[in-house]
């Protein structure tokens, strides 16, 4: 991870950083650290937090490069328009995850990964459900 976080190419080369400013905004919005850490399992939350991370990194870039400023992303809808196709959406979700987990101690990363695995298993079980339910 560089000074500006995890790189991602959207409308231009951008970065995503999960720093104290982003964490503060996330806590204000979600109030629960578990919800923040599980954001990469929820597309809406990932878009919200991803936008915060991208715009924070962009502001940092702009402060360091006043003659080569990049525009901030306007809102989640603007971000969503830059994420066309499943490959790009999956890449974005993985970058959100990487940026959030960057710098965490390895045991914390393992704990988050275990929670993620359990959530995915529960979601899979919920969507598949018992076969032939309600059929005679």
Reported as a single tens digit per residue, the pLDDT across 74-86 is 999 999 999 999 9
Query: pTM for this structure?
Result: 0.76
Contact 29, 76 (CB under 8 A): no
Residue 109, pLDDT score: 67
């Amino acid at each position: 991870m560089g000074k500006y976080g995890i790189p991602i190419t959207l409308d231009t080369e951008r970065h995503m950083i999960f720093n104290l400013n982003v964490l503060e905004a996330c806590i204000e919005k979600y109030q629960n650290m578990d919800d923040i850490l599980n954001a990469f399992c929820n597309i809406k939350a990932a878009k919200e937090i991803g936008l915060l991370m991208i715009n924070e990194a962009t502001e940092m870039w702009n402060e360091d490069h006043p003659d080569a400023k990049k525009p901030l992303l306007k809102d989640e809808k603007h971000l969503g328009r830059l994420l066309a196709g499943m490959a790009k959406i999956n890449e974005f979700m993985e970058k959100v995850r990487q940026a959030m987990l960057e710098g965490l101690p390895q045991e914390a990363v393992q704990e988050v990964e275990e929670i993620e695995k359990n959530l995915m298993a529960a979601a899979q079980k919920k969507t598949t459900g018992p076969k032939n339910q309600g059929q005679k």
